[in-house]
Structure formats: C-alpha cells, structure tokens
Chains A and B, each alone.
Chain A
Amino acid sequence: MITKSYVITAPEGIHARPATTLIRLAKKYKSIVSLKKEEKVVLLNSMLNILTIGAKGGDTISIIIDGEDETDAALAIDHFFSQELKHL
C-alpha cells in the first residue's frame, strides 16, 4: 500500500474536470485507489463521492493506493497532482 499527501494547487480544488481525469486515470490500474481528506475516505471511482469530499485549493489530501500495480499507479497520480492539476 502506498500513501501520499498532496496540497491541492488548483484554485477551484478538485472540481468536475480534474475529478473526471482522475477517475479515468485510476481506472487504468488494477489497484484500489482512495482519496482521504481529514477523516473522510472515498474510493476514487465515484464522481459523486469525490465531489462531496469537497477538496478545495490549498487543502491537503492523501491518496491511498493498494494493489499489484500500485507503484505505477502512484507515479501516474503523482504526475497528475504535481503537473496536470493546475492546468485543469
């Protein structure tokens, strides 16, 4: 299992557009990917759940990845949060 924390750099937070990208990214891997903010944890396959967690710009969230391809998934998600998110 891999856990990593990120500060959300996109001003609007994880809104519909990045959530769509993130869900589609996570779907490519067999690992189970979840998103944690404070005490709330949701699976990263549901737009409704991701939006309800309400991650805003400046918030710190954690991503938890568990599965056989977790290393690859973590790399892709790392790229998403550090590079792509601010452009979405």
Chain B
Amino acid sequence: MKGISASPGIAIGSAYVLTKNKVTSTGTVLKSEDDIAREMDKFNKAVQASVDDIERVKSNASQNLNEDEMDVLDAHIELLTDPQLHGDVLEKIRAERKNAVDAVIQVIGQFIRVFKGMNDAYLIDRAADIKDIGNRILENLSNSREKTPPKFKFNTIVIADEISPSDAIALDMTTVIAFATRIGGKTSHTAILAKSKNLPAVLGCGAALDEIRNDDVIIVDGAKGLVIANPDEKCFEEYAAKFRQYHQENSFMPSLNSAPAQTTDGIKIKLMANISSADDMDDALMYGAEGVGLFRTELLFMNRNSFPTEDEQFQFYYSAALKARGKPVVIRTIDIGGDKPLDYFHLPKEENPFLGYRAIRISLDRKDIFVTQLKAILRASALRNVKAMFPMISGIQELRLAKQILEAAKQQLRESKVDFDERIPVGMMIETPSAAITADLFAQEVDFFSIGTNDLCQYTLAVDRGNEKIKDLYDPYNPAVLRLIRYMIEQARKYHIHVGMCGEFASDPLATVLLLGMGLEEFSMSAVSLPAIKKIINENDYEKAKMICEQVMSMDNSKSIIDYLTACSSK
C-alpha cells in the first residue's frame, strides 16, 4: 500500500495496531438547571483530570523528556486551560443545553476547522494538538482513557490512525522502528516525530491499513512511501539487502547532526556553514551547522544587468538570516575583482587581478555601492543574528574607513527610523599576510576574525594556485602559513575576540587536530563536510591536540608535518 513519504529509511518489523476509543456525540438535551450545573462540573473535572494526566507524564522522571517534548506538554496544558475554550464549552452547555461530551466535540471541532483553514502550515498542524487535547478531555469525561500505555516488543512498527503529539511523548518508543498511519502528511506531528527520531514513516495510507493485524510482518520503505504487509520471500530478501545497505551508508552521519562538536575533554567547537544563498541554509541545518561562518554575497551580483537594489539585497540577506532561526549569520561584503567580472560593472583588465582592484578596495572606492550593501545588511540585522564582515583588508586605515562608512549607513537608517541591530558585530577576513602579521592591531578594532586560508596561502607563498606549473607550491602546511595562522589565533584570544576559519583548510580532515591545538574556536565550511570534521573533533582531546600542535610548529617542512599528522590521525 502506498502513502506519503514522511521520513526516509527502511524498516522490517512486526505490527502493533494502536487503537483509540472513540467518543461519539450523544445528542442529549439537558432538561433542568441541575443537569446543566452537573455537566459544567463534569467538564471542569475532566479538564482538571487531563491537566493532571499531563503533569504526571511530565513528572515521570523515567521518561527522560527532552526540551521539545516538555514544550509540547506545556502547550497542551495551556490549551486545556484556555479561557476561550472554556467559555465556548460552558456557553454551549448553558445556552444550548448540550451535555459536556457533545459541547466539547463541537467546540473542539470548530477550532480544528479554524486551524485547518489557516494559510500557514504550522498552524494547520496545530489542529493535531487541539484534537489531541479534545480527545483527552473526552476520554476523561467518559472514563475511557487507558491509563497505562502499551508495551511494545522489539522491532515494533506502529500502525495507527495518527500518532497524536501526546502519544508520541507518553509511549515508550525505544523499541519502535517505524510508523505507518492512516492520516497525516509531511508536516504532521507524526512526520516531525519520525524525523526527529530518525525513523522511517509512511503517512496517509488510508483505509488500506485496516487489514493489518498485530504481529503481522511489515516492511516500511520511508523514501518511497511504501508499506508492505506480510511480504513474500523474494520481496523480504530484497528489502533485507536494501536495509543492510541503507544502514551502512547512513550509520554515522545522522546521529552526529544534533550532537554538538566537543572534544573528549569538553571543549566546545562551533561548526558553521559557508553559504551563497538562502537555499543553502537547508543543507546547512540538515548537516548540523550551528550558524553561517561565511555568507558570500557575490551570487546576487552575478548573472544580471545592473547592481541589485538595496531592497533586493535586503531580501537576499534577510531570507537567509530568517532561515537560520536565530543562529548567527556572517555576511561578507562583496569580494569581486578582475577574476570575477560583472557584465554591468566595467573593471579594467589588470596584469595581476589578485593584487589589484578588488573586494574591499572596490567597496571603499565606490561608496555608493558599499553603502547600499551595508544598509541592506543592517536592515537584515533587525533579526539580531547578523554579523558583518569585510574581505581582503590589508591595512588598518582600510578597516577604519570601512567602519566609518558602516556608521554612516547606520545613521541613514536611524534618520529614516528603520530597525537594525545597533550593536551588530563587525569582523574582518584575514587573508593578506600584512593583516596576519599585524593581527594584534586589528584584534583591538573588530569583534571577530575569520581566517581565509585560500588567499592567505597564495599571498604568503607568492603562488598562483591556478598556475599548473607551480601548483604544488601552493601548500597550507608550509610552516610560514601555519605560523601566521597560529599567530592570528593567539592574538584573537589575547584580545578576547572570536576567531574562526572559513577557508578550505577548515574542512581538511588532516588539519582539524592541528587547528584545534592552535585554539581555533570555529570552523566554517560547505555543509557536506561538517559531519566528517565533527567526528574528528568529537574523538580528540584538546590537551593532546595542543601537544600535536607544538610538535608540528617545531618542524621545518610541510612533508614532515603532513607525515606526522597522518600518523597521528591513523592512531
């Protein structure tokens, strides 16, 4: 049978059919004032009993509730005691002479319809919570509530109409391996639950599920949205093979997503993503990024006929910052130059574009372009999770001028009464040797550093890494580059500013322990690289990394360094 694919993965197990006692309308008309008073009292008592139920679940320490589950339960208590709900139900009992059961069914039904009719996926899904608390009241009214949840066997696949939010919390899911439901969609509570637990789920299968009995053998193929009951031998073998393969491929990655990056001796490291648009944010979150360490803004300026307006830029930055859900987003001002020409902005052909008119040098020269971009970034900072960063700073006077222009942009916004973050953190890329050597001076004037290893390496070693003949000289393990990196990190820590790295070196698994040992606090890279780097951080010890770093810094050539790091990592 086919349903909606709500959470991927393959599961093979035995069915447990979760049935609910359904309370139906009675059509009773209350005769006397005494009846009315009695039904009102019954309703109030059922609500109190429902609240007590939830408090019991909350205080049951054995259930190890996480924060999200506690939130759901707290929200349910608020819904159960909602004055609007109470007023409506009591009014129905009093004015329409309905009994408590009928009044609750009708009022809950109305709220469910209101929520389902809303133009917002989140609110539509809240209908499940309202139905859930409604059923709880009804079960308490009719004393039909099962007070003890069922005990599942190993490898149970739960078959149900739907998994209500409170079921999801009250049921012991440790032996559950998949879900299949009659109703529900991709954004339903069951789907969210399945994804958060990394269990395959197929939802909205309809009446076809009614044929399934307890202990039937069930295969759930989450990605394809398939539920197979009592498969034949061939089908079973086929899925058994798929199951093994799926688990090999996905064995370590998903489990790492939610866990923080932390060394074995407890040093927390921030793992961030490099992105180029709001769309990249989905991947970043999926791979467990704790924010964005580098939001390149060039994409918005390319493939078009004119500079993007302030509003266009604002939308571009704001949508990414919004998607980051409060996690920090570092927006870098444009890093264009002779090597990345724009159709509508004539840049003279240069002998040495990497040593030429580019990045912050253009921004400081063309203040009109710069101010527009800064105002758009500042407006996005109204979300309070945005940081601004300048690329390719080579001298302190450039930084000061850039900050002055930022201040002017702020003043313009203040005058037009536009909201922005007055204390927006301001940082700089360190990617020129001159900035690296004077990191102590810069550290006193910015809120954070982000080390750009690609340019730093080519400027320090005087190597164009696009040049085939000399590309082997491009080597971030050259002691000169490593010394600069270590010096910058030391100075940042000395002046108590945040230091991250957003160049390719940050995603090189061989360099992770070395960078940890240097004291790097934040690694930013393309999202797909995050799980592998997180794994290395989680398996290593900061004190040991410091010793490895000392060893490396005493070596005089990159071959010895690479050999040594390779030996350390294979231990």
Binding site for B on A (CB under 8 A): 7, 9-13, 15-17, 19-20, 23-24, 43, 45-49, 51-52, 54, 56-58, 86-87
Contact of A58 with B322 in the complex, beta carbons under 8 Å = yes
Which of chain B's residues have a CB closer than 8 A to the CB of A7? 382, 419
Which of chain A's residues have a CB closer than 8 A to the CB of B322? 11, 57-58
Given A11-B322, A46-B84, A51-B123, decide whether A23 and B78 contact each other with a Cβ distance below 8 A: yes
Which of chain B's residues have a CB closer than 8 A to the CB of A48? 79, 82, 84-85, 111, 130
State in angstroms the CA–CA spacing of A81 and B71 once bound together.
Answer: 18
State in angstroms the CA–CA spacing of A45 and B72 once bound together.
Answer: 18
12 pairs across A/B with beta carbons < 8 Å?
A: A7-B419, A10-B326, A11-B324, A15-B122, A16-B72, A17-B71, A17-B75, A19-B75, A23-B78, A47-B78, A58-B318, A87-B326
Contact of B78 with A20 in the complex, beta carbons under 8 Å = yes
Contact of B383 with A46 in the complex, beta carbons under 8 Å = no
Binding site for A on B (CB under 8 A): 71-72, 74-75, 78-79, 82-85, 111, 114-115, 118-120, 122-123, 126, 129-130, 318, 322-326, 382-385, 419
Contact of A16 with B126 in the complex, beta carbons under 8 Å = yes
Which of chain A's residues have a CB closer than 8 A to the CB of B75? 16-17, 19-20, 47
State in angstroms the CA–CA spacing of A51 and B111 once bound together.
Answer: 11
Contact of A86 with B126 in the complex, beta carbons under 8 Å = no
Given A7-B419, A86-B384, A87-B326, decide whether A47 and B120 contact each other with a Cβ distance below 8 A: no
Contact of A49 with B84 in the complex, beta carbons under 8 Å = yes
Contact of B115 with A86 in the complex, beta carbons under 8 Å = no
Given A10-B326, A51-B123, A51-B126, decide whether A16 and B71 contact each other with a Cβ distance below 8 A: yes
State in angstroms the CA–CA spacing of A43 and B85 once bound together.
Answer: 13
Which of chain A's residues have a CB closer than 8 A to the CB of B119? 54
Given A7-B419, A9-B382, A11-B325, decide whether A51 and B84 contact each other with a Cβ distance below 8 A: no
Closest to A42 in B: B84
Which of chain B's residues have a CB closer than 8 A to the CB of A87? 326
Contact of A54 with B123 in the complex, beta carbons under 8 Å = yes
- How far apart are B189's CB and chain A's nearest CB, in angstroms? 11
Closest to B84 in A: A46
Closest to B75 in A: A16
Given A17-B71, A48-B111, decide whether A11 and B323 contact each other with a Cβ distance below 8 A: yes
Cross-interface CB contact of A9 among B71, B126, B384, cutoff 8 Å: B384
Which of chain A's residues have a CB closer than 8 A to the CB of B130? 48
State in angstroms the CA–CA spacing of A9 and B382 once bound together.
Answer: 7
Which of chain A's residues have a CB closer than 8 A to the CB of B72? 16
Which of chain A's residues have a CB closer than 8 A to the CB of B129? 16
- How far apart are A5's CB and chain B's nearest CB, in angstroms? 10
- How far apart are B62's CB and chain A's nearest CB, in angstroms? 24
Contact of B83 with A46 in the complex, beta carbons under 8 Å = yes
Cross-interface CB contact of B79 among A47, A54, A57, cutoff 8 Å: A47
Which of chain A's residues have a CB closer than 8 A to the CB of B123? 51-52, 54
> Assuming A47-B79, A51-B115, what are 19 further A-B pairs, CB within 8 angstroms?
A9-B384, A10-B326, A11-B322, A11-B324, A16-B71, A16-B126, A20-B71, A20-B78, A23-B78, A46-B83, A46-B84, A47-B82, A49-B84, A51-B123, A51-B126, A52-B118, A58-B322, A86-B383, A86-B384
Contact of B79 with A86 in the complex, beta carbons under 8 Å = no
- How far apart are B458's CB and chain A's nearest CB, in angstroms? 38
Cross-interface CB contact of A11 among B79, B83, B118, B326, cutoff 8 Å: B326
